[in-house]
Amino acid sequence: MVADFRKRFWVSLVLTAPVVALAPMIQSLLGLEEALSFTGDSYVQFVFASIVYFFGGWPFLSGLGNELGKRRPGMMTLIALAISVAYFYSTAVVFGLVGEVFFWELATLIDIMLLGHWIEMKSVMGASAALEKLVKLMPSEAHLVGDDGSTRDVPVSEIHHGDRVLVKPGEKIPTDGMIVDGRSTINEAMLTGESKPAEKGEGDEVIGGAINGESAFTMEVRRTGGETYLAQVIEMVRAAQESKSKTQDLANRAALWLTVIAITVGSATLVTWLLIGKPFDFSLERAVTVMIIACPHALGLAVPLVVAVSTSISAGNGLLIRDRTAFERGKDLDAIVFDKTGTLTEGRFGVTDIIPLGERSEEELLRLAASLESQSEHPIAEGVVRGARERKVEFPAPSEFRAIPGRGAEAVVDGIRLRIVSPGYLREHDMVVTDERVRTVADQ
C-alpha cells in the first residue's frame, strides 16, 4: 500500500507540472502567456489533468464509494467531491461551456492529499516492522514426541493441545505449554522485556517464541495457533495499527459537516446568482469555485501527518500504541508506572563489585571468572566477559566446560576446576557466606 501511494504521488506530481504551466492564471502571474500558451493547449492540459484525476485520485474516488456504502461520509467523500466537481466542470469548459478551468487546482489538491496519506501509511508500515519481528519469533517446526518416546520433526501447524514436544538447547519454544520433564533457563526477553533468563522446571508454563537455554526439556502443548500468548500480542498490535484516534474521528466528523456545508453553500450560490439574473454558466462557475474552496487542504494533510509523526517516533523508541485514544489522553497523566528492566534500563548485565574472600586479587578473580564464562551464552556470563574486557583483563580459554542448568557453570582454568554458581546453588548445598560485604551487594 505504501508503494502504491508513493507511485501515485510521484506520477501525479510529474504530470502536475505541465497542468500548472498551461494554466492561464499561472501564466498571467508569471507573465509567460506568450511563451507557454499555444493553440489547443487546453486539450493538452485536459489530457494530463485526466490522468492525474483518474490515476492519482483513485484512492479518494474508491474511498468515496466505501464511505457512502457504509453511510458514513468522511474525509474521502469531501476530497472526492472537490476533485470531481473541479474535473467535470473544467472538462465541460474545455468542450464548450463558458467559464474558467480548475485543472491546476485539481492536480495540486490531489498531490497534497496523496502526500499526506503516503506519509501516514509509511509510518504505520514502519511500525509494522516490530510486528514482523514478533512473527519471526515463532519456529516453523517442532520435535513431536511419540507414545514410544521417539521424536519426529513436524510443522508447528500440525501440533495439537496435549501433544508432547521436545525442546533442545538453544531452540525456540514452538508454542505455549507446560514442562513435564526436565529443567532449563528460558530467555523471554523479546516477549517480556526481562533480560535475565527465567528458571523453569516441571509444572512451569513456557511461552512460544522464547529461547531455551542450555538444557533440553519435554513440554506438553497447552495452546496453539491464535490462542498463544505471542499470537495475542501480534493481534493486539495489528488492531492498534488499524484503530482510529479521537482526532481522526473528529476530523472525519468535521469532513462530513464540511461536505454538507460545501454542497449547501455551492447550491445556494448557484441559486442566488440565477435569481439575481446572471447567466447559468456565470452562476455555475461561482458555485463550483465555492465548493472547491470549501475542501480543507490543511485538514486532509495535517491529520495524517500527526498520526505519522506520533507512530514513527513511538515505534522508533520501542513503544507500540495499543489504543490511540488512550495515547492522546496521555497529556493528562500525572503518574506512570514502569517495569524497570528493559524499559527504564537496558537490561545488560555487567560487573559492579568484586569482593575477594581469600588471597586472590580482584583482577585474578575476574580473569578466572571471565575465562569460565567465555564458553557460556547466558546473559550474566556475557556481562562478566564484557566486564573483563572493559578492564583490559586478558583471560585464557577454559577446558571441560559444563553448564549447571539453572544454577551456573563449571570448567577447568589453569589446571583448577572452578564453579560459578547462583545463590540458589549455595542454599541447596548448605554453603553459607557470612561476609557482610557479600550480603550488601546481594541485596542491591
CB 241 within 8 A of CB 130: no
Nearest of 172, 320, 173, 160 to residue 238 by alpha carbon: 320
Vertex 273 angle, CA 271 and 276, to 5°: 110
Radius of gyration of the chain (CA): 34
Lookup: cell for 182 = 526436565
User: What does each C-alpha distance from 207 to 55, 204, 215 come to in angstroms?
Assistant: 48, 10, 16
Q: Sheet of 408-413: strands edge to edge?
A: 399-404, 408-413, 416-421
Nearest alpha-carbon partner for 139 in 160, 128, 154, 152:
154
Q: Which residues are catalytic?
A: 339
Contacts of 365 (CB under 8 A, 6+ apart): 354, 356
